[in-house]
């Protein structure tokens, strides 16, 4: 008799990229479809740049890293079925890419959430987050009890503009491009 864990999954979308004013670190912010929960995940500047490029529909002359990964997935006969952000431990988040071939076989590939998100948004693959991750890391955006925290977080996210990241994006394109 085997015990099987069942995880409740919630589909989320990318709300945008924010900048932690204390540390200068980028944050990708996910939100659920009802816009009741926001999940901030601190990420690296290269991944933030990749996500912003897609959000803003900016094109570059050569494929950047996440574009290359999407090309590899597609050229090898797979499709990205979904990504899951499925664990958090000591503020480190874990994600899995689910790749499906034409016969319905599924490969699960361990990933950092920032890379998984950057890949998923390039091909509109669904982003799922387990309920335990949301309960550990999310900010309520609709509860009266948490109204001050939610409003502070909303103001923080809404105050950011893509132009805040222009230097960040230029620096990363310089590092990733062939010279």
For the segment 31-57, what is each residue's pLDDT rounded down to a tens digit?
A: 988 888 889 999 999 999 999 999 988
The confidence score (pLDDT) of residue 171 equals: 52
Sign of the alpha-carbon torsion through 100, 53, 59, 61: negative
Q: Which residue, 32, 28, 55, is CA-closest to 42?
A: 28
Quickly tell me which residue has 């290359």 as its tokens. Answer: 68
The answer to whether 73 touches 99, Cβ cutoff 8 Å, is yes
How is residue 70 written in tokens? Answer: 């999407």
Query: Does residue 179 carry a pLDDT above 50?
Result: no
Query: Does residue 118 carry a pLDDT above 80?
Result: yes
Mean pLDDT for the stretch of residues 70-95 = 93
Mean pLDDT for the stretch of residues 136-149 = 59
Sign of the alpha-carbon torsion through 17, 125, 93, 37: positive
């Amino acid at each position: 008799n085997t015990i099987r864990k069942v995880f409740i999954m919630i589909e989320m979308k990318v709300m945008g990229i924010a900048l932690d004013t204390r540390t200068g670190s980028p944050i990708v912010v996910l939100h659920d479809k009802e816009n009741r929960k926001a999940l901030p995940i601190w990420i690296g500047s290269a991944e933030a740049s990749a996500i912003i490029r897609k959000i803003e529909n900016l094109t570059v002359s050569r494929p950047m890293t996440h574009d290359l990964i999407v090309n590899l997935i597609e050229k090898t006969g797979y499709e990205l079925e979904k990504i899951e952000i499925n664990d958090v431990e000591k503020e480190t988040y874990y994600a899995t890419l689910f790749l499906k071939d034409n016969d319905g076989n599924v490969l699960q590939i361990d990933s950092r959430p920032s890379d998984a998100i950057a890949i998923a948004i390039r091909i509109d693959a669904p982003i799922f987050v387990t309920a335990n991750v949301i309960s550990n890391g999310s900010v309520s955006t609709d509860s009266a009890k948490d109204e001050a925290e939610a409003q502070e977080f909303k103001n923080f996210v809404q105050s950011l503009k893509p132009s805040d990241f222009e230097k960040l994006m230029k620096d990363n394109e310089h590092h990733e491009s062939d010279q």
